[in-house]
Structure 1
């Protein structure tokens, strides 16, 4: 995995944090943290988009955020578990991995 896909992964993990923050933030400082995480995740995404295909990057980013948020909410915050959720998360992840696999290699010498 190259540096730019690492940034997409990090941005997706940060997205999990700010998505949960949208639900649980209750003070000025918590909301400030959520806003900072949103800005940071999209900044990392913008850097990754300089060298990687935009559509694939966004699909991977939202897939990580969606699946990760459901998993974390289920494990840490006692959201109800269902095999239907697991099935749809699996379908989402298979689609995201498929998009990454069929995407063309980025042009490393592309100028901005």
Structure 2
């Protein structure tokens, strides 16, 4: 059930996006605490996934999804500029992430 391990990477990336946004926008103690928890959980899930997925592949997908999520949140939530070039590069990033997942053949332990 390799998909469960990939789901763990995705979950880690969701928390990565959360702490990146938190670092930029946190202004209260509670917001900083939530950001700290998000940092911990993002790396917890990455480390957990890397027990079954090659670490380099898991990390590349984790960072790629984090970049995709952070860029998307910036554009669609915080009003950062959107361009066709940015969209094309995001699609290229998605192709790379999908390719890494597709070519990973190590079976789960």
- Structure 1: stretches of 5+ with no match in the other structure: none
Aligned CA RMSD, in angstroms, stands at 1.3
- In the other structure, the counterpart of 2:77 is 76
- In the other structure, the counterpart of 2:89 is 88
- In the other structure, the counterpart of 1:18 is 19
Q: TM-score, normalised by structure 2?
A: 0.91
- Structure 2: stretches of 5+ with no match in the other structure: none
String of CA shifts for 1:21-78, please: whole Å, max 9, x gaps. 1110112221111111000110111111111111111111111110111111111111
Name the CA distance, whole Å, in 2 between partners of 1:98 and 1:3: 18
- In the other structure, the counterpart of 1:106 is 107
Name the CA distance, whole Å, in 2 between partners of 1:21 and 1:83: 27
Between 60-69 and 1-10, report the one with greater CA deviation: 1-10
4+ residue stretches of structure 1 with deviation over 3 A? none
Name the CA distance, whole Å, in 2 between partners of 1:20 and 1:98: 27
Residues matched between the structures, number: 108
Name the CA distance, whole Å, in 2 between partners of 1:106 and 1:56: 13
Name the CA distance, whole Å, in 2 between partners of 1:37 and 1:16: 9
